[in-house]
Amino acid sequence: MSAATTVEDILGREALSALRRPIAQSSGLPGAAYTSDEFFRLEQKRLFPRTWMCIAFASDVPQPGNAIPLMAAGIPIILVRDRKGDIRVFHNVCRHRAAMIVTKPCQGLKQFTCPYHAWAYDLDGRLKAVPYFDGTKDGHSKLPLDLSKLGLVPVRAAVWHHWVFINLDGNAAPFAEHVRPLDDLINGADLSATRIGHREDWEWRGNWKMQNDNWETYHHIWVHKNVFTKMSDDLDLKTGEPIAEPIPLGTVVTLKRRGDQDFYPSAGNLPLIPFPEGKKRVRCTSVVFPNMTLTLQSDHLASVIADPLAADRTISKMGYFFVGDAATDPAFAAQRQRTLARWLGPTGQIGDRGGIRSQDMEIWEQQQIARRSPVADQIVFSPVWEKNVHHFQNMVVDVMSAPSNH
């Protein structure tokens, strides 16, 4: 079978036309977008490298000399905090014979050393040593080897508060433009006042896009029965409008809570995330395209980075952030635990279906099976609830279908 080269090759012109209709007449992405290995490979080639993909939390490399190997769009990379404390990202490829340089999380590094032939690089990527490359101790006395041209290849990266993003092809618009809709939306919330309180990685058997297809509150009272107990939790029964307004904002889709209530009740006297004087507190839950989510509550942040492993396998990298010492102080342990129990269930295990995250994942795994059916090629959207889903699916197709910038 010849490899498909475009979205239209895999999904068909008719399906794309149906997706692009106004939401009330639209039909969503067909099953192949979720189940096809060909489509997943095309995403690796034509979606993730073209945009600002989120790869990690800054707290994953908390100290200078910390480094971890990651995969992004099928490409091996290194996330490192250098001697000065700055976060850098490099291709995880030695410039000699293309061996991987970092193969496991590291702490206290002074340099990178390739395990194959011991080429050594500074944490800023500069090539420092090529021992015995030409038979001499320094490795470049006899051969005109220009070390300055053989450093690790950097990846275009941006750090926004707690999150690290990369643009693999180097051609995306500036990151500030990519994240501006969320910056504007949160109305000056001081995210930098928060610190990591809990990290968790869960793998589930479904396509990464299901996370973002979930950006509606229509499912709440059925999927999250222990949190949302009545339809009026999410719908103004008089107006028929969702209480969390779905708002597509270009590279961001959000659910912005109307009024002054959080999505979930407070877990106690946790300190509130600061807002500038005179600015109204915002409570919203958003997706930053393509794969990062951020829920802004009054007293904590909850975030997921979707790490696509295959068409039917995803890792959810989860981070929960609290204000200042409340992230770690034992005096706030009970409040943190109540907050985390709502997200992760009382046991904090993926099999505990008492938490919001695992409840969603259970549905997504069931959807993944259903998506194999030809019947799943015809789905409809609610114009009341699902503007975000329609927008996200169109954005996936638009980015993948755009002409190459090269």
Q: How does pLDDT run across 284-335, given as a tens digit for each residue?
A: 999 999 999 999 999 999 999 999 999 999 999 999 999 999 999 999 999 9
Phi/psi for 92 (5° steps) reads -85, 65
Identify whether the C-beta of residue 257 lies closer than 8 Å to the C-beta of residue 244: yes
Instruction: Give the model confidence (pLDDT) of 259-298 as tens digits.
Output: 888 888 788 899 999 999 999 999 999 999 999 999 999 9
Cα Dmax for the chain: 83
Which of the four pLDDT bands, split at 50, 70 and 90, describes residue 3? low
Average pLDDT over the chain, rounded to whole?
A: 95
Q: Comparing 163 with 138, which gets the higher pLDDT?
A: 163
Identify whether the C-beta of residue 244 lies closer than 8 Å to the C-beta of residue 263: yes
Percentage of residues in the chain with pLDDT exceeding 70? 99
Which of the four pLDDT bands, split at 50, 70 and 90, describes residue 24? very high
Integer Cα distance of 373 and 396 in angstroms: 22
Integer Cα distance of 160 and 334 in angstroms: 29
Q: How high is the pLDDT of residue 204?
A: 98
Q: Comparing 226 with 164, which gets the higher pLDDT?
A: 164
Q: How high is the pLDDT of residue 187?
A: 93
Q: How high is the pLDDT of residue 357?
A: 96
Which of the four pLDDT bands, split at 50, 70 and 90, describes residue 10? very high
Give the burial class of 355: count Cβ atoms within 10 A of its Cβ; 0-12 exposed, 13-18 middle, 19 or more buried: buried
Q: Comparing 103 with 261, which gets the higher pLDDT?
A: 103
Instruction: Give the model confidence (pLDDT) of 33-66 as tens digits.
Output: 999 999 999 999 999 999 999 999 999 999 999 9
Which of the four pLDDT bands, split at 50, 70 and 90, describes residue 405? low
Which of the four pLDDT bands, split at 50, 70 and 90, describes residue 14? very high
Q: Count CB atoms within 10 A of the CB of residue 313.
A: 16
Q: How high is the pLDDT of residue 331?
A: 96
Domains plus CATH for the chain?
A: 53-158 (2.102.10.10), 174-401 (3.90.380.10)
Find the helix packing angle between 333-344 and 356-370, rounded to 10°: 10
C-alpha distances (whole Å) from 297 to each of 73, 192, 256, 322, 361 are 31, 14, 11, 10, 21
Is a pLDDT exceeding 70 seen at residue 98?
yes
Q: How high is the pLDDT of residue 2?
A: 45
Integer Cα distance of 343 and 284 in angstroms: 16
The mean per-residue pLDDT over the stretch 74-103 comes to 97
* Run of H or E residues at 359: helix 356-370
Q: How high is the pLDDT of residue 4?
A: 61
Of 230, 244, 243, 252, the C-alpha closest to 184 is: 252
Only one residue has tokens 């643009």, namely 167
How much is the pTM?
A: 0.95
Only one residue has tokens 């850098």, namely 88
The mean per-residue pLDDT over the stretch 218-247 comes to 90
Amino acid at 337: Q
The mean per-residue pLDDT over the stretch 241-267 comes to 90
What's the count of helices (H) and strands (E) in the chain, helices before strands? 10, 18
Token pair in block for residue 306? 């979707």
Angle, vertex CA 284, rays to CA 246 and CA 58, nearest 5: 125
Give the burial class of 271: count Cβ atoms within 10 A of its Cβ; 0-12 exposed, 13-18 middle, 19 or more buried: middle
The mean per-residue pLDDT over the stretch 137-151 comes to 89
Instruction: Give the model confidence (pLDDT) of 193-211 as tens digits.
Output: 999 999 999 999 999 999 9
Integer Cα distance of 201 and 319 in angstroms: 9
Which of the four pLDDT bands, split at 50, 70 and 90, describes residue 1? very low
Instruction: Give the model confidence (pLDDT) of 171-192 as tens digits.
Output: 999 999 999 999 999 999 999 9
Token pair in block for residue 389? 């889903």
- In sequence order, what DSSP letters do the residues of 118-134 get, joined into one string? --EE-TTS-EEE-TTTT
